[in-house]
Structure formats: C-alpha cells, structure tokens
C-alpha cells in the first residue's frame, strides 16, 4: 500500500543518515565483525529490498541485544525502525547429561516443554505474562502497566549430582564389559525415610556404540521383573500366615511339571535342589520352591494372592511427577476366571505374568527397608521464586504399614541372607552390609522368546540401619545372564561410594553452651546470611523491611550478636563486590547490566572496574576469585574433644557446605523470567535452566 511504501522510504532515509553511528555501535557491541562488514551487510539488504534480513549471523546474549536496541534508529521501536529479534529458547545444563531425561528438555527452537520435570511443572516454570497498554500523550505513546508479569519459578529437585555421577559411571562401565555388552542400563537410588530419588540413570546404547539417556525407562519400562518379585510373593504369604520360615519344600532336583508345563530352577542341568526351607528358596532363588509354596496355598483362590499384592502396595499407582510413568499391571482373575489359567499363579509368583516398572520394584524394597512404611518417590522438594519458597512438596506415605511386623521381619532376614550366603554374593561388601534380591527374567515378545534377558538386583544399605535403597537393571542379549553376578557388583560399588561420601562426624563431644564462637559473615546478600544465622540460633540485628527483596551489605560480629548493615546500591556507579562469593557478585553485577568474566575459585579479591566508576551498561567487568587456602598455607591441626569451646562454622556462608555432609548438592531446574516487553523476551537466550 501507499502507506507501507511511505514508511519504508522513511526507514531507508533514516538508516542512511544514521548508517555510520549504527555500524560503529554494532562493531563496539559485537566486535567479531568490522565496521565495513556491517555497512555492506545493511546496504546489501536494502538493495535486495528484503523484508527479513539477518543483520548478524550468530546468536547474541540478552545484554548485547539490549545494547543493540539502544543504537540510533533501532531505539525507535519495531514499526519505525524495522529492527526486531528472533527468539531462540534452550536449556543450559551445567551438569551435562546427568539425569537429563528426568530434568527434561524443550523442543528445539520452541518455548514448549518436551519431557521430564520441565514438562510436568511447565506452568509453574513458565510464569505469567504481564498486561501493558499504551496511551498517547503529545504524539508519544507511553506504556502503562496494568498487570505486572510474574517470573517463572525454580524447582529444587531431590537429585544429588555426586550420587548421580557415581551411579551413571558404575552402570556404564558394567554395560561396556565384554561379558555383559548391555543394551540398556537403569539405576535408581532412593532415600529410605523420605522416598527422595537421589539418582536416576537411564542409559541406552545408540547406533554409534555410545550410551546416552534416550528414554526414561526407569519409570516407563513395563517388563516382567523376574526373581526380584519373589519377596513380594512371600510377603503376601507370610502376612496371610500361609507359610513359616522353618517350612520345607521339595524342589524336585530342578525340574517339576506344573499343570502340563515345566518349571525349572536355574541349576536344573546340574541336578537342581532337593529340600529347601522357605528362607533358602529366596537365598537360592528357586523357582520351584516359591511357585510350589504359593500355588499350594492359593491355587483354589488366586484372587486372595493378587489382592494381597495390591494390599502391600506392589500394584500401587504412584502418580509420579515424571511424564511417561506407567503404573504396574498385575492381572486380577475375574469371577468366572476366563482370563486365568492353571499355570498363571505359579508363574506370577516368580515374576512373570505381570509387568512392573523398575521404580515400583524399588519402592517395594524401600518400604521393606523403612520398616514397612512405603513412601511415594519424590523428585521435587520445593518451588522457589526470587530466593523465596512459594510451594513445598513434603514426603507422602503410600502405605503406613505394608504388612504385619512378623511378616516384614521374615522378609528382612531373607534379604540379608540372600547377600550373606545366597546368590546375591556379588553385592556383598566388606565395608557396608547389604540386603537385597537378585533377578533374571527372559524377555518375551509377540513371537515368543526374544533372546534378551533382564537382569537386576534390588535392595538397601546399610542393612542394620537402612539409609538408601537401590535397584540396578541391565537388559542384554544372550547368555550369560545373572542378576547377582552382573548387577550385584554395580550395587556394591554404588553402596560403597555413597557411604564413603556421606559419613558424618559426630561433633556432640565438642559442644559448649557457655562460650560459643559467633560466626563471621562475609559481604553479600544479607537475607541468605540472616536465614543461616537464624538456623544456628545466633542473635542478630537487622535494619530492613520484610517486603524488600535481596538486601546487600556487610555484617559486624559483636560480642553477643551479629549486626547486619544494608548498603544502598547506586545504580549509576559500579558497586564494590570484593569479599563476596561468586554467586552474589555475579547476580549483583549482571543485575546492574554489566557483563561478568570470572577467574579462579572462592571469594572476590579483585575487580577490574573500581568502586564508584561510572556504570555503562554492557561493559565487561573481570572478577578475580581466590580461596582462603590460596592466601595462606594449609595448616593441619589435630582436633581433640573440648568441653569449653563450642565450634560453630567459621562463616555463615559455610552453612551450605556443612549441610552437604548430610544432604548433597541438589540439582535445580530454572525457567527464564517473563519480560514486560516482547522484544526483551525474544532475545533472552542464555539463561541457564
């Protein structure tokens, strides 16, 4: 139209007038290209009369975008200048592939979640856009904010980075062994008391031979579990008082005909077993022993056995936060038993005829370790916004008591014996006592046996006072296939590494309530320091309102308390961040509009732009970090119990590291903040998630 032609002519005229200023500014902000390159690029686009001409070939940061937008002509808005940005959304994963399927991802180039926690909590992470209308005042349009935007929240997950790394390395090393040559490897590590999932590994061999997280098979893989199901069968029988620990069963030398179908033990070709006790049936994983005992007591009333499985929580729908989770499928016989066969009960009791994902199998063993209290697996503990908790996700109980105390005690004894004197000896450790059960199942498809095997080991440690439960699964093709020999060593390695890194030193003998040493607080975010001091029951004096956000300043340790003095931040000059930790310094400088480059570790000891320097947004500031150990030689001092001096952390900021002895670092999922201005949101490309 004539109007569009007029607008374009005005743009071209302004662009020619401001060409030098624009090209020089672009070179200053994006120095990878010279001034002449920008000029020729703009002139080429004008000559071709392109409606969509790429000004710069690479993606830029949000700060760079804001600087470019402030250049002459570009600051006139989209309609007048024609300048606009393309939006590229991506997730930055500082820990690489660790738990990547559980954390989740976005669709490439889109702002929509694709998998994992990113998808499950998408509405919470996304935030809410604001509402702005513009009012014309003297030929200018002024923005009037009606509804402010709400930034997306952060998730605090239960995933422990160190434990995740341990588990992933252990399973991948085993998968690569020549005798294993596994296709799929799964590891789930859970905290017994809370049900917190500390690590979850889903490794699949790709076409190039490398192992990567492709699917979250730990929660979605519906397969017949095999012998790890046998303790579930015996728990039902113990709870119904159908079997006793000192009861014996004839295992028929490894082969027994059951309703026209052969039931075999793993050692049938070597003569099998003869008479085994109930405990020995689990220790030696006898298919015949378990199936005969269950069939003998429930054959005429199979619904009692299946109802028992549902009663103890084996078939419970856990309603997990992970998209793709599939609840167990355990068939119930109908009234006329048209869906039931004579052999169904016998084979169901040893882990066939049912489909249970690894997460549900582990949840059963976690309940056994937790004295019969079954917890719901938890992946997220809280949602936070601007450092404040906006929603908590407390542990949830699925079954307060899975079975009778005596039935539970019998199962615990059997699981300990499996490792100490049975087929689970591969998981036996000299450093930590392990209890668990092996499993080996043939994988069937529509045409029959596929030649694949699912081998596993599920259990908990330390057996005398369980802290963690774990399941290790490997899917492989062909023989040899043994849960005890192939998954047991992985379980043992994980148990030893986890316990060696979570040992807690008892400092009770050092307690002194008469002469406590008050902690020293470094400069930085005083709200964090205030929370730590509150947890330490240290008296403190503050001078700010609760409605304020982050409060920056310094602290002075007095004789009886710690005084926190906030400092006003002048947004026109560079602040002093010397003495701050990396997190606080980075946050404050980037909030001021500076680009930050860091080197070293520890606290800030030097900044390239001095305090009071006139602040120019987009300017680069270099921060040098140095730890206390680099300033002075390490001193090794013998610490002896002292009844006169209470030892508290040397710094309130060190509370986090003190806590990490008991609770390891947690991985967070973050969402990009919602910008008031559409163009600002479009170029928000480098936010870490």
Shared domain check, 546 and 421: no
According to DSSP, residue 153 is labeled: P
Shared domain check, 166 and 43: no
88, part of any domain = no
Residues 6+ apart with CB under 8 A from 583: none
Residue that the structure tokens 């120095």 belong to: 31
d(CA 405, CA 411): 10
Query: What share of the chain has pLDDT > 70, as a percent?
Result: 82
347, part of any domain = no
pTM: 0.67
Secondary structure (3-state) at 325 = coil
Residues 6+ apart with CB under 8 A from 293: 234, 237, 242, 243, 247, 249, 278, 281
249-270 average pLDDT score = 94
Shared domain check, 402 and 309: yes
349, part of any domain = no
User: Token digits for 651?
Assistant: 């710094």
Contact 432, 496 (CB under 8 A): yes
Among 60-74, 127-141, 655-669, top mean pLDDT goes to: 60-74
d(CA 492, CA 184): 19
Judged by phi (left if over 0) then psi (alpha if -120 to 50, else beta), residue 546 lies in: alpha
DSSP 425-494: GGG--SSS--EEEEEEEEEEETTEEEEEEEEEEEEEESTTS--EEEEEEEEEESS---IIIIIHHHHHHH
Shared domain check, 147 and 58: no
Boundary residue ending a domain (32, 50, 81): 81
pLDDT band of 465, cuts 50, 70, 90: very high
User: Token digits for 672?
Assistant: 């990009």
- Count of other CB atoms within 10 angstroms of residue 314: 26
Q: Which residue has the higher pLDDT, 148 or 618?
A: 618
Shared domain check, 638 and 576: yes
Q: How far is CA 541 from CA 65, 319, 500, 558, in A?
A: 42, 45, 40, 10
What is the span of the domain harbouring residue 36?
2-81
Shared domain check, 166 and 142: no
DSSP 73-117: TGGG-HHHH------------TTTTTTHHHH-EE-TTSSSEEEHH
Question: What residues form DSSP beta bridges with 157?
Answer: 380
Helical axes 35-48 vs 2-17, angle rounded to 10°: 160
Shared domain check, 305 and 204: yes
Shared domain check, 253 and 228: yes
pLDDT above 70: residue 425: yes
Residue that the structure tokens 């007038």 belong to: 17
Boundary residue ending a domain (447, 472, 501): 501
Shared domain check, 489 and 531: no
Shared domain check, 610 and 476: no
Shared domain check, 211 and 295: yes
β-pair type (595-599, 603-607): unpaired
pLDDT band of 575, cuts 50, 70, 90: confident
21, part of any domain = yes
Residues 6+ apart with CB under 8 A from 7: 79, 80
341, part of any domain = no
Q: Where does residue 386 rank: exposed (0-12), middle (13-18), buried (19+ CB within 10 A)?
A: exposed
Convert the pLDDT of each residue in 581-614 to its tens digit.
Answer: 888 888 888 888 899 998 888 888 999 988 888 8
Shared domain check, 449 and 372: yes
């Amino acid at each position: 139209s004539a109007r569009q032609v007029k607008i374009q002519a005005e743009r071209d005229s302004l662009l020619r007038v401001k060409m030098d200023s624009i090209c020089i500014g672009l070179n200053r902000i994006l120095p990878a290209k010279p001034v002449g390159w920008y000029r020729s690029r703009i002139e080429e686009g004008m000559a071709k009369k392109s409606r969509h001409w790429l000004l710069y070939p690479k993606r830029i940061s949000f700060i760079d975008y804001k600087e470019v937008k402030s250049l002459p002509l570009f600051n006139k808005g989209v309609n007048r200048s024609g300048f606009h940005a393309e939006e590229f959304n991506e997730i930055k994963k500082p820990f690489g592939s660790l738990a990547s399927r559980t954390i989740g991802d976005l669709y490439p180039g889109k702002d929509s979640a694709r998998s994992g926690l990113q998808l499950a909590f998408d509405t919470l992470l996304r935030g809410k856009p604001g509402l702005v209308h513009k009012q014309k005042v003297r030929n200018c349009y002024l923005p009037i904010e009606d509804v402010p935007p709400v930034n997306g929240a952060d998730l605090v997950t239960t995933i422990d980075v160190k434990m995740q790394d341990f588990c992933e390395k252990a399973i991948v090393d085993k998968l690569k062994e020549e005798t294993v040559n596994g296709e799929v490897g799964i590891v789930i590590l859970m905290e017994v008391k809370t049900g917190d999932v500390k690590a979850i590994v889903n490794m699949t061999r790709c076409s190039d031979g490398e192992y990567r997280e492709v699917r979250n098979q730990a929660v979605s893989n519906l397969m017949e579990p095999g012998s790890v199901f046998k303790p579930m069968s015996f728990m039902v029988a113990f709870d119904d008082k159908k079997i006793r620990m000192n009861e014996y069963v004839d295992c028929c030398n490894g082969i027994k005909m059951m309703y026209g179908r052969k039931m075999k033990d793993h050692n049938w070709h070597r003569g099998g077993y003869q008479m085994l006790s109930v405990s020995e049936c689990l220790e030696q994983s006898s298919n015949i022993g378990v199936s005969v005992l269950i069939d003998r007591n429930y054959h005429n009333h199979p619904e009692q056995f299946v109802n028992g499985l549902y009663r103890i929580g084996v078939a419970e729908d856990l309603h997990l936060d992970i998209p793709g989770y599939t609840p167990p499928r355990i068939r119930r016989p109908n009234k006329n038993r048209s869906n039931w066969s004579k052999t169904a009960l016998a084979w169901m009791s040893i882990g066939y005829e049912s489909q249970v994902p690894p997460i549900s199998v582990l949840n059963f063993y976690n309940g056994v370790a937790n004295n019969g209290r079954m917890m719901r697996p938890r992946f997220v503990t809280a949602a936070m916004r601007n450092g404040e908790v906006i929603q908590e996700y407390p542990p949830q109980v699925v079954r307060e008591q899975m079975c009778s105390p005596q039935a539970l005690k019998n199962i615990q004894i059997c699981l300990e014996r499996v490792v100490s004197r049975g087929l689970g000896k591969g998981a036996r450790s000299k450093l930590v006592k392990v209890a668990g059960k092996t499993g080996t199942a043939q994988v069937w498809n529509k045409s029959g046996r596929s030649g694949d095997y699912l081998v596993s080991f599920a259990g908990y440690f330390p057996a005398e006072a369980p802290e963690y439960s774990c399941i290790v699964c490997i899917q492989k093709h062909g023989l040899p296939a043994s849960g005890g020999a192939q998954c047991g060593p992985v379980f043992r390695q994980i148990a030893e590494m986890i316990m060696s890194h979570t040992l807690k030193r008892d400092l009770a003998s050092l307690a002194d309530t008469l002469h406590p040493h008050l902690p020293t607080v470094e400069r930085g975010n005083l709200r964090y320091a205030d929370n730590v001091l509150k947890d330490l029951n240290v008296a403190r004096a503050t001078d700010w309102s609760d409605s304020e956000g982050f409060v920056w300043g310094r602290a002075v340790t007095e004789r009886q308390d710690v005084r926190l003095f906030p400092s006003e931040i002048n947004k026109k000059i560079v602040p002093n961040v010397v003495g701050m930790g990396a997190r606080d310094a980075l946050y404050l400088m980037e909030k001021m509009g500076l680009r930050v480059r860091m080197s070293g570790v520890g606290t800030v000891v030097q900044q390239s732009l001095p305090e009071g320097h006139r602040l120019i947004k987009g300017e680069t500031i270099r921060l040098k970090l140095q730890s206390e150990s680099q300033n002075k030689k390490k001193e090794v001092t013998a610490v002896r119990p002292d009844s006169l001096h209470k030892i508290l952390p040397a710094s309130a900021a060190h509370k986090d590291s003190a806590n990490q002895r008991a609770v390891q670092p947690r991985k967070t999922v973050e969402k990009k903040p919602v910008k008031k201005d559409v163009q600002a949101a479009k170029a928000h490309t480098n936010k870490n998630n």
